[in-house]
Amino acid sequence: MIISLVVALAEDNAIGANNKLLWHLPNDLKFFKNLTWGMPMIMGRKTFVSIAGKPLPGRINIVITRDKNSLPLQENLWVVSSLQEAIERASETDCNEVFVIGGGEIYKQTISIADKIYLTRVDGNFTEATVFFPKLDEEQFKLIDSVTMHKDEKHLFGYSFETWEKIIQS
């Protein structure tokens, strides 16, 4: 099973502040929905709470938390207590790919085991940021695709969709 990270980050690797994204990019939200639809997603409790505390439709939402009883039972919500348990549960779905969608601590735990990273790079720096994505090691990952989008009436910032794959050491 392919382990993929999905993240939108600013030039300084900022991803959020106070359990919120720092920007609103409708095209990025559409990209995220299309990419993850029908697939299992792994996230931390804070990320789950930041998406209104209910599962995103059309996907299995696997939430990692120390207190498994802190979240109510809901359809398409699986609550686990460790990253390993989250990956095991995702593999039970027979999907060929699982998406890790945050937050900062979960990204730190998974970047070393990730096979692929779908990265939206937002043009700008956000001084209010409190959560950051780990530094991407370009000796471990290679850029295989990049599409640049310019700011417009719906997007206050320019951005790029990038796809990175783990470099297989021979």
**Residue 53: per-residue pLDDT:** 82
∠ CA 7-150-133, nearest 5°, is 20
Average pLDDT over residues 31-40: 97
d(CA 147, CA 161): 5
First CA to last CA distance, the chain: 20
| 106-120 pLDDT, tens digit each | 999 999 999 999 999
CA atoms within 13 A on the CB side of 110: 32
Reference 120, options 40, 43, 35; nearest CA is 35
Q: Please give the residue range of the domain that contains residue 73.
A: 2-166
What's the CATH number where 141 sits? 3.40.430.10
Which of 138, 145, 130, 147 lies closest to 166, judged by CA?
138
Please report which confidence band the pLDDT of residue 146 belongs to, taking 50, 70 and 90 as the band edges. very high
Residue 3 is classified by DSSP as E
Give the total number of structural domains in the chain. Answer: 1
Confidence at 170, pLDDT banded by 50, 70, 90: low
